[in-house]
């Protein structure tokens, strides 16, 4: 498959990209920081299957231009994995409007932009798969995560609606809803205190790879995955 992973410079996105390259897929990776795209450990071994595209997902033009470049490079975009995300761990009262806007722009609008950019290619070929990496904040209340939870709840709503709209167009739409995962998104103190309980980005990468091996006539609509010991 030809797969585009956003937010692939680090964390879950990077782990997904590396796992999919090892599985034999062609993978386009995007992130705001070009240097982070050069840090994948599998670049040398899979250079012929990897395409790097710096993208700020809060810009529809950049996302749309990237989709065109990836389509031209690979000949198709079979799978889009919307993973790019940012957060702030603050009470709503202390969250500035600028901080709120950035989180909505990246986490929610960025997903919408990605879907809008690839859907014309997928509907034209009557096949494709959109996988949105969301968060358990859509199902459980965590204080100090108001802006982040709002953005992810919006993504879940978009995902659910799109799934129904494209069922008859040959396109699959899946939500992956992970719990606490050991990434730089978490403050260092939280990682130090709870790190042993957290899932690892590589765990999510393996789950995505397994999902893509599921039968063609089956659509896994929503996958929730948490640490074995539960939420933090």
The per-residue pLDDT for 42 is: 66
**Neighbour-count burial of 208, counting CB atoms closer than 10 A to its CB (0-12 exposed, 13-18 middle, 19+ buried):** buried
**Listed range (34-38, 80-84, 224-228) with the worst mean pLDDT:** 34-38
Return the structure tokens found at 135.
């968060």
**How far apart, in Å, do the first and last CA atoms of the chain sit?**
35
* Mean pLDDT value across the chain: 95
The per-residue pLDDT for 40 is: 72
Establish how many alpha carbons lie within 13 A of residue 201's alpha carbon, considering only the half-sphere containing its beta carbon: 19
The per-residue pLDDT for 41 is: 66
pLDDT tens profile 20-33 = 999 999 999 999 98
Give the start-end residues of each E strand in the chain: 2-6, 26-31, 50-54, 79-82, 128-133, 171-178, 222-225
- The residues that are catalytic are 148
pLDDT tens profile 119-163 = 999 999 999 999 999 999 999 999 999 999 999 999 999 999 999
pLDDT tens profile 39-95 = 776 666 788 899 999 999 999 999 999 999 999 999 999 999 999 999 999 999 999
Which of 57, 31, 49, 81 has the alpha carbon at shortest distance from 207? 81
Return the structure tokens found at 7.
């937010």
Contacts of 92 (CB under 8 A, 6+ apart): 146, 147
Superfamily for the 2-225 domain: NAD(P)-binding Rossmann-like Domain (3.40.50.720)
Q: What percentage of the chain carries pLDDT values higher than 70?
A: 98
Q: Where are the domains of the chain?
A: 2-225
Contacts of 125 (CB under 8 A, 6+ apart): 76, 170
């Amino acid at each position: 498959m030809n797969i585009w992973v956003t937010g692939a410079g680090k964390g879950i996105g990077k782990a997904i990209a590396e796992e999919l390259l090892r599985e034999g897929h062609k993978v386009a990776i995007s992130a705001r920081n070009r240097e982070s795209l050069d840090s994948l450990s599998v670049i040398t071994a899979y250079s012929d299957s990897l395409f790097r595209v710096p993208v700020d997902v809060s810009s529809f033009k950049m996302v749309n231009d990237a989709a065109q470049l990836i389509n031209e490079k690979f000949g198709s975009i079979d799978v889009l994995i919307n993973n790019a995300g940012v957060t702030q761990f603050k009470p709503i009262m202390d969250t500035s409007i600028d901080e709120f806007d950035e989180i909505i722009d990246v986490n929610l609008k960025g997903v919408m932009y990605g879907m809008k950019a690839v859907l014309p290619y997928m509907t034209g070929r009557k096949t494709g798969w959109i996988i949105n990496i969301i968060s358990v904040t859509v199902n459980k209340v965590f204080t100090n995560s108001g802006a982040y939870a709002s953005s992810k709840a919006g993504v879940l709503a978009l995902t659910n609606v799109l799934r129904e709209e494209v069922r008859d167009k040959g396109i699959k739409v899946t939500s992956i809803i992970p719990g606490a995962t050991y990434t730089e998104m978490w403050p260092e103190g939280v990682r130090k205190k709870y790190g042993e309980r957290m899932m690892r980005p590589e765990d999510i990468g393996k789950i995505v790879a397994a999902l893509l091996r599921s039968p063609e006539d089956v659509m896994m609509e929503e996958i929730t995955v948490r640490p074995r010991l539960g939420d933090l």
